[in-house]
Structure 1
Amino acid sequence: MSKRKSKDNSFSLSECIAKVHLILRARFCHHLPGKLFGVEAQYKNLMDLLKQTAVYGESNSVLIVGPRGAGKTMLLKSVLKELMEMKQVKENLLQVHLNGLLQTDDKIALKEVTRQLQLENVVGDKVFGSFAENLAFLLEALRKGNRSSSRPVLFILDEFDLFAHHRNQTLLYNLLDVAQSAQTPVAVVGLTCRLDVLELLEKRVKSRFSHRQIHLLNTFGFEQYVEIFQQQLSLPEEFPDGRFAQQWNQNIQSLCKDKTVKDILQKHFNSSKDFRSLHLLLMLALSQVTVSNPNIRSTDLLAASRLCTTDSKANVLHGLSVLEFCLIIAMKHLNSIYEGEPFNFEMVYNEFQKFIQRTHSMHNLEKPVVLKDHDKYFFSISQLKPPW
């Protein structure tokens, strides 16, 4: 191919490969929406709920519950993608994304809500007495301007169960209270993998929750799993170089018919049907795509499958000497005793000497020799379990 873009919008091979990596990696890492299988009812249910808030101004709350990798985020993104294509929704709906792993207390969560609603200038240095007053002020600020009523706000709480550990569950209480009071059109969508999440909520919080739950379980069969595999690896129609995209997609179709590839997918399907494990497999196979190897081959998928099933701890231990094994065991033992507190080389060496005295199976080595190996393998202790 020519290194320059020609009149038929063709790109150099290296440019096409770079674009393929960019598109597919984003798809695998961010769980971008595609064709969904076996969740049509859940999709319609969630769409109806969010449309009530975004279009008709009715407040709602709902939990999306399912194991990790079941497609909760993908379902939500698919619904939002279709919803945001409506002009009325695109112009009015505000979205606030919170994560229980990041917003670990209500103060951090409130700052993030302020930032995502772009109300930093409105808030300024104002200080209020309670979280409820702060939240009420933010929602009231949305009424400013030419609009007579507040714009609908969608609060998405990922790792919903972790917000239950906040002090007095203030964030959940106030969000659900606003949703129930109907003063501002608010939708609260929680994503969690805990089936018992409602048992974690306080009575006052539980009483304000709608108790709507959407459960996701991967109920699709192997044929649909192969379709998902093909869909996740296929390039979109808007790919800059149409000829390259056509060749790439034809190669993916042929892979789906290859017996070796089907055996690999059957193995993964039997062990785990979640999207995360599939994305990991595809990401490892994609890493083999280069200018010299511009297509994914069955051998690439086979190598990726072996990497997925390889024990990483065994790889760390591979090739270590007896001394190195002893030092790692000594460090891990100390790490267990002191529960993560720091320790120094002298303590490791003393533990090593005790081990020598108990076993009598190896020669006592001088301290400089032990120190050299200690520095080399100190990083490995957090990955191993002690043998006692």
Structure 2
Amino acid sequence: MNVEGALMEARAGDAAAVRAARVSAIAGKYADPVDAEGRFPREAVEAMRAEKLLSIQIPTDLGGEGASITEIAELCSVLGQTCAASAMVFAMHQIKLSSLVEHGAGSDWHRDFMRRIAKEQLLLASATSERGIGGNLRNSICALKFEGDTCFLEKDATVISYGAHADAILITSRSHAEAASSNQVLTVFLRDQYRLERTIEWNALGMRGTCSDGFLFKGEALAAQILATPFAEIAAQSMLASSHLLWSGVWYGIAADAVARAQAFVRDAARKSPGTPPPGALRLAEVSSLLQMVKSNIVGGLKIYEEARTDPNRLSSMAFAVAMNNVKIASSEMILPIINQAMLICGILGYQNGTPYSLGRHLRDAHSAQLMISDERILGNTSAMLLVHKQDTRLLG
């Protein structure tokens, strides 16, 4: 990514974009060592804190800036163009924050917690996976136990992305020991309220800097830290939509930088042979149209979400769920062909590490897209809904 160009472009827009561009420059500086070492992108996250981006979604009356999901998706794409792992950490944090913003406003404890996030720039992690349920986040084996006003939880979480580096974890469980597996709640546990015992080490193909280890979680917190809204509603009305949209913003950023590198390669070839059509020029035109399709898909999804976000019935509708699922499927499946095309344009210089056109990290990071909430699972859910839901065939609406 041309960081100087991004900064100039951001300065012509809003202040958040300027701050994100500065963070992106720092993230890009450390992207390769973060990937090679499989380490947490601490420099980028500290830059997010310094720029106060971790609280940007929190309402202004609680110390934040009231940024919309659309605005945050743009920041995810900016970060994704230099370091996908840093961008994904930012996106995951904002996804958990969306649950607090949308469902914690009626609780004194959660409102105070949001004030603290804004003041201290706390980093939030998520624990929805669990050994024994696979990737089905809408079921839990573990359950809260209570003694007076205190709740206790032990969970064998197969993945807690950057869990060892978070300041708080929002974790799902059954609401009580006798509850059904789908009767879930979401609870905030602060860093000094839990212990983590690493059970699975994250040594993955890509997104290595997310440090998505597995942990045995043991926590003790106030019952007031449980969000009052059932997790089924949180998932349907904020979490899944924000996940699909913000993740898609990250993936678009990866693909956009791959296309930018391919364009730079073609331009350099054109300068060396004036008057001769450079190799890869037609492929570049083709891949540009594919990138625009991804962009249009995400922008359309964001528009649907922003129009629906004040209507709980619409947010919980099949039409909304199908639309958000389609955004995720299309984004996650289209970015790999785009990066592959960019690799073919750049040739061996794209295949090699350490060149201005290197695309190996992009390609490896992009492979995670179809696995983050498995596309197979999402397609299965969508197919079940389409048995009873009429497909919207309007072009506008």
Larger Rg computed on CA atoms? 1
- More strand by percentage: 2
Bin the TM-score by the shorter chain: under 0.3
* TM-score, scaled to structure 2: 0.26
* TM-score, scaled to structure 1: 0.26
Give the structure, 1 or 2, with the largest relative contact order (CA under 8 Å, sep 6 or more): 1
